[in-house]
Amino acid sequence: MNQPVRVKTLKIDDRDVSGREDETILEIARQNGIFIPTLCNLQGLTPIGACRLCLVEIKGVSRLLPACVTRVEEGMEVYTQSERLQKYRRMVLELLFSERNHICSVCVVNGHCELQSMAQVLGMTHVSVPYRFPRLPVDASHERFVVDHNRCILCTRCVRVCDEIEGAHTWDVMGRGIDSRVITDLNQAWGESETCTSCGKCVNVCPTGALFEKGKPVSERLKKRQFLPYLTMMREERR
Amino acid sequence: MAHTVTIDPVTRIEGHAKITIQLDDQGIVRDARIHITQFRGFEKLCEGRRFSEMPALTARICGICPVSHLIASGKACDALLAVRIPETAEKLRRIFNLAQLVQSHALSFFHLSSPDFLLGMDADPAVRNIVGVIQANPQMARDGIRLRQIGQQMIEWLAGKRIHPSWIVPGGVAQPLSAEKREQMLASIPEGIDIAERAIEWFKTTLRQFSEEIQTFANFPSLFMGLVTETGALEHYDGVLRVVDSAGNVIADKLDPNDYQDYIGEAVEPWTYLKFPYYKPIGYPEGVYRVGPLARLNLVDRCGTPRADEAWSEFRTLERGAVLSSFHYHYARLVEILYGLERIQQLLNEPDILDTRVQAVAGPNRSEGIGVAEAPRGTLIHHYRIDKDGLITWANLIIATGHNNLAMNRGILQAAKHFVKGEQIQEGMLNRVEAVIRCFDPCLSCSTHAVGQMPLHIQLLSPTGEVLDEVRR
Q: What is the pLDDT of residues B207-221, one digit of tens each?
A: 999 999 999 999 999
Nearest to A206 by CA among A152, A150, A134, A164: A152
Where is average pLDDT lowest: A123-132, A218-227, B278-287? A218-227
Q: Using one digit for the tens of pLDDT, what is the confidence trace for A69-124?
A: 999 999 999 999 999 999 999 999 999 999 999 999 888 898 899 999 999 999 99
pLDDT value at position B37? Answer: 58
Start-to-end Cα distance in chain A: 15
Residues of B in contact with A216 (CB under 8 A): 169, 174
My answer on whether B206 and B334 are in the same domain is yes
pLDDT for A15-33, tens place per residue? 999 999 999 999 999 999 9
Assign A228 a pLDDT band (cuts: 50, 70, 90): confident
Residue at A1 is within a domain: no
- Chain B nearest CA to A218, separation (Å): 6
Contact predicate B92/B158, CB 8 Å: yes
Say whether A219 and B166 touch across the interface (CB within 8 A).
yes
Buried b (16+ CB within 10 A) or exposed e, B319-344: beebbbbbbbbbbbbbbbbbbbbbbb
Q: Which chain A residues in 140-169 lie under 8 Å from chain B, judged by CB atoms? A: 140-141, 146
Residues A60 and A172 in one domain: no
Q: Can you give the pLDDT at residue B446?
A: 27
CA dist B460 and B451 (Å) reads: 25
Q: Which residue of A has its CA nearest to B174?
A: A217
C-beta atoms of B389 and A140 within 8 A: yes
- Residues B208 and B340 placed together within one structural domain of the fold: yes
Q: Which of B169, B361, B390 is closest, CB to CB, to A140?
A: B390
Do residues A51 and A118 both lie within one domain? no
Residue B425 has pLDDT above 90, yes or no: no
B301 found inside a domain: yes
pLDDT at B473 over 60: no
Residue B456 inside a domain? The answer is yes
Cα angle B252-B83-B304, degrees, rounded to a multiple of 5: 45
A237 assigned to some structural domain: no
Closest chain B residue by Cα to residue A135 = B48
Q: Which among A191, A215, A217 has the least Cβ separation from residue B166?
A: A217
Strand B457-461's sheet: what is its strand order?
A: B29-36, B17-23, B3-8, B457-461, B467-472
Q: Would you call B57 and A138 a contact, using CB atoms and an 8 Å cutoff?
A: no
Assigned domain for A63 exists: yes
Residues A202 and A150 in one domain: yes
When scoring B93, B391, B393, B446 by the number of chain A Cβ atoms within 10 A, the one with the most, hence best to mutate, is B391
How far apart are the CA of B173 and the nearest CA of chain A, in angstroms?
A: 9
Q: Which residues in chain B touch residue A218, judged by CB atoms under 8 angstroms apart? A: 53, 55-56, 166
| Same structural domain, A101 and A210 | yes
Contact B57 A140 (CB under 8 A): no
Residue B235: inside a domain: yes
Q: Are residues A205 and A134 in the same domain?
A: yes
Considering only the beta carbons, identify the residue of A141, A214, A217 that sits closest to B56.
A217
Which of A124, A123, A182 shows the shortest CA–CA distance to A151? Answer: A182
Q: Are residues B21 and B152 in the same domain?
A: no
Q: What is the pLDDT of residues B120-144, one digit of tens each?
A: 888 888 888 888 899 999 999 999 9
Q: Which residue of B has its CA nearest to A190?
A: B389
Distance CA B155, CA B287 (A): 36
Assigned domain for B197 exists? yes
Region A200-226: mean pLDDT is 84
Residue pair B312/B302 in contact (Cβ under 8 Å)? The answer is: yes
Per-residue pLDDT at A1: 52
Of the candidates A141, A215, A218, which has its C-beta nearest B166's C-beta? A218
With bands split at pLDDT 50, 70 and 90, how would you rate the model's confidence at B166?
confident
Q: If you average pLDDT over every residue of chain A, what do you get?
A: 93
Same domain flag for A127 and A174:
yes
Contact call for residues B410 and B218 (beta carbons, < 8 A)? yes
| CATH code of the domain containing A77 | 3.10.20.740
Last residue of a domain, which of A81, A113, A137?
A: A81
Same domain for A118 and A219, yes or no, is yes
Residue A238 falls inside a structural domain: no
Task: Reduce the secondary structure of B242-287 to three states and give it as a string.
Answer: EEECCCCCEEEEEECHHHHHHHEEEECCCCCCCCEEEECCCCCCCC
CA torsion angle for B391, B393, B398, B402 (degrees, to 10)? 120
- Measure the CA–CA gap between A90 and A83, rounded to whole angstroms: 11
Q: Are residues A160 and A189 in the same domain?
A: yes
- When pLDDT is averaged across residues B42-71 and rounded to a whole number, the result is 89
Give domain status of residue B73, yes or no.
Answer: no
B233 and B291, same domain (yes or no): yes
Tell whether B35 and B121 lie within a shared domain. Answer: no
- Structural domain of A203: 92-227
Q: How many residues are there in chain A?
A: 239
A139 touches chain B (CB under 8 A): yes
- Nearest to B436, CA basis, from B114, B110, B217, B129: B217
Examine residue A212 and state whether it is found in any structural domain, yes or no. Answer: yes
> Is B168–A217 a contact, with Cβ atoms under 8 angstroms apart?
yes
Give residue B271's identity as a one-letter amino acid code: W
Does B461 reside within a domain?
Answer: yes
Last residue of a domain, one of B305, B337, B361: B361
Residue B361 to residue A215, Cβ atoms within 8 A: yes
Whether the per-residue pLDDT at A12 is higher than 90: the answer is: yes
* Cβ neighbour number for residue B417 with a 10 Å cutoff: 16
Substitution target in B44, B49, B52 with the highest count of A β-carbons within 10 Å is B52
Q: Is the predicted pLDDT of residue A166 greater than 60, yes or no? A: yes
- Alpha-carbon distance values, A115 to A104, A120, B49, B175, B313 (Å): 10, 9, 21, 27, 57
A-B C-beta contacts closer than 8 Å: 44
B425 or B431: which carries more pLDDT confidence?
A: B431
Which of A140, A219, A220 lies nearest to residue B50, judging by beta carbons? Answer: A140
Task: Tell me if B298 sits within 8 A of B242, measured CB to CB.
Answer: no
Distance between CA atoms of B88 and B347, rounded to whole angstroms? 10
Query: Are B276 and B405 a contacting pair, CB within 8 Å?
Result: yes
How far is it, in rounded angstroms, from Cα A151 to Cα A138? 10
Same domain, B98 and B195: yes
CB contact under 8 A, A217 and B164: no
| In a domain? residue B400 | no
| Shortest alpha-carbon distance between residue A146 and chain B (Å) | 9
Closest chain B residue to A108, measured at CA: B53
Asked if residue A155 and residue A194 are part of one domain, the reply reads yes
Q: Are residues A216 and A98 in the same domain?
A: yes
Q: Cα(B189)–Cα(B179) distance, rounded to whole angstroms?
A: 16
Q: Does A234 map to a domain?
A: no
Please check whether residues B177 and B211 belong to one and the same domain: yes
Do A105 and A222 have their domain in common? yes
Beta strand pairing call for A171-174 and A138-139: unpaired
Indicate the pairing of strand A145-148 with strand A138-139. Answer: antiparallel
The CA distance from B155 to the nearest CA of chain A, in Å, is 17
Domain extent, residue B432, equals 3-39+407-472
User: Pairing state of beta strands B240-244 and B223-228?
Assistant: antiparallel
Please check whether residue A218 touches B, CB under 8 A. yes
Which residues, including other chains, have CB under 8 Å from residue B406's CB and lie 6 or more apart? B276, B277, B278, B285, B288, B289
How far is the alpha carbon of A148 from chain B, nearest alpha carbon, in Å? 9
Chain A closest-CA separation from residue B363 CA (Å): 8
Question: Which 8-state DSSP code applies to residue A140?
Answer: -
Write the CATH number for A124: 3.30.70.20
Is A214's CB within 8 Å of B52's CB? yes
A232 part of a folded domain? no
Which tens digits make up the pLDDT trace of B257-289? 999 999 999 888 877 777 788 999 999 888 999
Average pLDDT over residues B143-153: 96
Contact residues on chain B for A139, CB-CB shorter than 8 A:
389
The ipTM of this complex is 0.85
Query: Which of A53, A81, A109 is the last residue before a domain boundary?
Result: A81
Kindly determine whether residue A217 and residue B50, on different chains, have CB atoms separated by under 8 Å. no
**Arithmetic mean of pLDDT over chain B:** 87
Do B88 and B136 share a domain, yes or no? yes
Residue B448 confidence class, pLDDT cut points 50, 70, 90: very low
Q: Contact A218/B53, CB-based, under 8 Å? A: yes
Minimum-distance CB partner of B56 among A137, A214, A218: A218
Spell out which residues of chain B touch residue A219, defining contact as CB-CB under 8 Å. 56, 166
B237 and B319 in a single domain? The answer is yes
> What is the model's pTM?
0.88
Pairing mode, strands A15-20 and A7-12: antiparallel
- Per-residue pLDDT of B375-421, as tens digits, reads 999 999 999 999 999 999 999 888 888 888 889 889 988 988 888 77
Q: CA-CA distance, B379 to B291, in Å (whole number)?
A: 6
Residues B206 and B240 in one domain: no
Does residue A191 belong to the interface with chain B, where contact is any CB pair within 8 Å? yes
Structural domains in chain A (count)? 2
Distance to chain B for A94, nearest Cα, Å: 23
DSSP one-letter code for B234? B
Question: Is residue A61 domain-shared with residue A98, that is, in the same domain?
Answer: no
Count of domains for chain B:
3
B443 and B303 housed in the same domain: no
Where does a domain end: A47, A81, A115?
A81
CB contacts of B66 in chain A (<8 Å) are none
Q: Do B152 and B35 have their domain in common?
A: no
- In this structure, which amino acid lies at residue B314? E
